[in-house]
Amino acid sequence: MDEAALGRMASLAFASALPALLISGYVTEWLRPKRSGIVAVVLMGTGCLAMGMSRSFAVVVGGLMVLQFGIAWVLAVQSSIIAGFSPQLRQRLFFLAMAMLAMGAIFGPPAIGWAIERVAANDSLAAWGTVYVWLGGLLWGLLALLLIVCGGRLAPIADRPDGAQQSLRVRRGTSLGERLTKLFVSGVFNRPAFYLLGLIVLFDNLAAINILTWLGVMAQERFDATPVKIGYLSSLMAMGIVFGRIFMATFVSGRISDRKLLGYSYGIAMLIFMFMLIAPSMNMLYVLYFLMSIFISAQSATTYAIGADKFGERAAIGIPFVDGVGSLGSLSAPLIMGMFAVWFSLDYALWMIPVFGFMLVMISLGWEWFDRYGTGQQSREARA
């Protein structure tokens, strides 16, 4: 398999997650979170088995797409459970969930590599297949064990009528158009929160994706960094994100509002990044990158917590859709930065990253101020 084939696989895997973000929330409302979660795990296990058992490139790509589809599906289930059953703890729970995700990103690839080395004899391709078959079987086995051992405790998220069903009830005689509008639009797309959150995630992706894409290039050009030294940057970022999310879940959650925590943390991260742009040595760049990662780690958890608060019973739909809107930033970020680098230089273009980041800060803190002291507060006083 050449580099072009690997690139096509990566692009297809990314694209396959988008449909899951669009439909998983509606399916979760229909099936309830427990059954929708089973669907997600079955999809992931099936994708792994297809990749491991097939020797056809097309089937391997298809399995990868199914795997990514299932991974993206989990966000709707997670959002529905947290928003519906633990709304007061939403910030802490999202931080813990995102910390576990980051830990998986740290330890998962080395674990897969270790397994392949143990299995491989003369055929490394067969070892890859064997490991993915094991992984798919493990996912299915853990799901069965969870249902057997904890099935009774999971019953409430499968059997209790949730708020989404109550809010979607319509009067008799309602037209089909009104029914469809209530099903697909009400509580999500008719709320300003959806568009404000979409802008927040868009600017985050414009900043964060460009940091991931171009910081290694900057280190190579400025400090003659080797690939190994650039790889240390990725490790430091992963460790900073895990530490930051666990720290915030333990000591910060519940003490500050979602939007304030997002705005303050991201603002500090961008200030640190600005110092990174003038760092005099590679060692200083390492230290600053680790510190920046601690603060920038607040983005996903706080954004999901805001979505759980604003969308309420329809969080399973709203939060994945917001992620889908934000993916436009992921797609366009390297292109935009590359154009600026051609027009000016990379050193100057990188200063656009704090601009994107501080736009996020302004939206988040401005939204908080408006809700507390602007028209939102006046309307609450009028209702009182």
Q: What are phi and psi of 255, to 5 degrees?
A: -100, -10
The Cα 79–Cα 157 span in angstroms is 12
What's the pLDDT band for 311 if we cut at 50, 70, 90? very high
Hey, where are the domains in the chain? Answer: 3-168, 192-365
* pLDDT, tens digit (0-9, with 9 covering 90-100), for 349-360: 899 999 999 999
Banded pLDDT at 252 (limits 50, 70, 90): very high
Confidence of residue 295 (pLDDT cuts 50, 70, 90): very high
DSSP string spanning 242-259?
A: HHHHHHIIIIITTSS-HH
Q: How confident is the model at residue 346 (pLDDT cuts 50, 70, 90)?
A: confident
pTM here is 0.85
* Angle, helices 298-311/227-247, rounded to nearest 10 degrees: 40
| Residue 268 pLDDT | 97
Alpha carbons 192 and 206: distance in angstroms, whole number: 21
Same CATH fold, 192-365 and 3-168?
A: yes
| Amino acid code (one letter) for 219 | A
CA atoms within 13 A on the CB side of 207: 28
Please state, in angstroms and as integers, the Cα–Cα distance from residue 69 to each residue in 6, 38, 45, 206, 308, following that order: 18, 13, 11, 23, 22
What CATH number does the domain located at 192-365 have? 1.20.1250.20
- Give the pLDDT confidence of 199-213 residue by residue, as tens digits: 999 999 889 988 988
**What would be the CATH architecture of the domain defined by 3-168?**
Up-down Bundle (1.20)
Tokens 């709203």 -> residue: 318
pLDDT digits (tens, 9 = 90+) for 131-154: 889 999 999 999 898 888 877 777
The pLDDT score that the predictor gives to residue 381 is 44
